[in-house]
Amino acid sequence: MKQTNDLMKRINERYSKMSKGQKMLATYISEQYDKAAFLTAAKLGQTVGVSESTVVRFAMTLGYGGYPEFQKDLEAMVKEKLSEAPEQTVIYENLENAKVLDAVLMSDVKRIEHTIRQVDEQVFEMAVDMIHNAKRIYIVGIRSCAPLAQFLSFYLNVMYDQVKLITTNSASEMFEQMMRISKDDVVIGISFPRYSMRTLKALEFANNRSAKIISLTDSVHSPMNLYSSCNLIAESSMSGLVDSLVAPMSIINALIVALSKKRQHQVLKNLDELEKLWDQYQVYGSDELEYVSDAMKFRYKRPEGNE
């Protein structure tokens, strides 16, 4: 990912000094570079909502001699992305529908196996401790990573009081939700190619406020690691139409289990309270197809004393 990394580095280094229009271009290109690569300067400006001259100045701000030179790097980025798993894409296209399920599942198994070999257990334990000891927990995941962020947020909310899922489509709203962040807090940034500039800017903002930062991304070379002191690596390779997020989800599951072990007493207390609320307001009673016995609802042994 050398071309991708170099261009993202250029954008990030110059982002704070860019004009509003240039920042709009930076965000669009970081998230949609495969589309931007095939647009003329005029068409790119029209797509983003800026003038053609702003596009040209943006390219020159990044150190290019002009837009054609900048576009050449964009095209190289697209070729890099497509070359990551071309054989897999072709295999899927030529498979009969009956074979697709097996092929995709086996591909996901391999990604989890690769992730097991890459993940650092000490870094994982560090992430668990950082989350557990934080005053507030912020979770940032944009675009295809939003479901991962929502899943993690759902379960952390069962365990902790101060969990904030950043849900926004604009950088200004994102900063408004993070404006109270401090050194006692932790931010979990989740991003995979195509990397989100908004997520990167959220981590930069948190870093400037001295908050602790955890990244969940695909490589040690990911731009998400620029501001993170704790990098969780999970493989996410293109397999045709979509990127597989199975391995990142497995890392998230592991985080949830490890944290629940640290908060067993509080988790049980919160679940008991939720059960009472669900019964009181008939949240599930009227539409359950089959009731599950109390013994099956939660299998943690209740610890003696408090946390």
What are the tens digits of pLDDT across the range 30-60? 777 778 887 889 989 999 999 999 999 999 9
Query: Over 50: is that where the pLDDT of 128 sits?
Result: yes
Q: Where are the domains of the chain?
A: 2-83, 90-262, 264-297
**What residue has token string 């008939």?**
282
100 vs 196, which has greater pLDDT?
196
Computed over every residue of the chain, the mean pLDDT equals 81
What's the half-sphere exposure (Cβ side, CA atoms, 13 Å) at 273? 8
CATH number of 90-262: 3.40.50.10490
pLDDT tens digit string along 67-90? 999 988 888 877 766 555 444 444
The pLDDT, as a whole number, for residue 104 is: 80
Nearest 5°: phi and psi at 271?
-65, -40
Alpha-carbon span 243 to 78, nearest angstrom: 15
**Angle separating helix axes 20-36 and 2-14, nearest 10 degrees:** 170
Please give the model's pTM, rounded to 2 decimal places: 0.67
pLDDT tens digit string along 85-120? 444 444 455 556 667 777 788 888 888 988 888 888
Average pLDDT over residues 153-179: 86
Contact at 8 Å (CB) between 119 and 232?
yes
Average pLDDT over residues 235-255: 80
Average pLDDT over residues 170-174: 74
Would 2-83 and 90-262 be classified into the same CATH topology? no
The pLDDT, as a whole number, for residue 171 is: 65
Q: Is 141 exposed, middle or buried (0-12, 13-18, 19+ CB in 10 A)?
A: buried
CATH match of 2-83 with 3.30.360.10:
no
Helix (H) or strand (E) holding 25: helix 20-36
